[in-house]
Amino acid sequence: MPAFTPIREFIRALQSGQTNMTLRLDYLYANRASIPAAVLGTIRTGSLDPTFPQDVKDLLKGVGAVTGPNTLSDDEIRHMEEWPAAEKAKVQAWIDTAITNGDAVNFIWELHREPGRPGKGDYADLNAGSPARITFRTYAERVDLGFNLGSIKYK
């Protein structure tokens, strides 16, 4: 979940496991037959590091072939791009395998409190099953609940 996420969206995500990003990924995965073959190929096996190719960004923003709900902002896309390369590659491999096998996938978000994880960072986890669940976990100690009043940020 990117910095400066509105508090209502943060609370909704805590309660439901759904963010704007996970909802967009759910929608795109469910409608993957509408994604142009070249873009889907990039998502499955192409380079997504350090930044996403423009056609992938356009897909996430709802520009072009697949519009639909929960389009992503530049900040949300940048947040996804900033994930460690190994984590992006892991999720990409899971998506590729799910598409190959015809498996359903749900995308979920949650906070975690696992201080023993290297770097106390964000990571993804796969829960195989039907549907498979790809969970994006944010380290709770990295969350700074503050608020803005105009141009002043209070913590």
- List, for residues 91-131, the tens digit of each pLDDT value: 999 999 999 999 999 999 998 877 666 555 678 889 888 89
Instruction: Look up residue 103 and give its two tokens.
Output: 């498996």
The pLDDT value given to residue 115: 66
User: Whole-number mean pLDDT of the chain?
Assistant: 87
Tell me the residue type at 109. Answer: W
| CB-based contacts of 106, cutoff 8 Å, min separation 6 | 26, 131, 132, 133, 134
State residue 154's pLDDT score. Answer: 41
Percent of the chain topping pLDDT 70: 86
The two structure tokens encoding residue 46:
């192409």
Strand partners, 95: none
Q: Residue range 135-151: average pLDDT? A: 71
Tell me the pairing of strands 105-112 and 132-139.
parallel
Q: 110: alpha, beta or left, given left = phi > 0 and alpha = psi -120 to 50?
A: beta
**Phi-psi region at 70: left, alpha or beta (left = phi > 0; alpha = psi -120 to 50):** left
pLDDT of amino acid 120? 55
What's the pLDDT tens digit per position in 53-84? 999 999 999 998 889 999 999 999 998 998 88
- pTM (2 d.p.): 0.86
User: Structural domain boundaries of the chain?
Assistant: 7-154
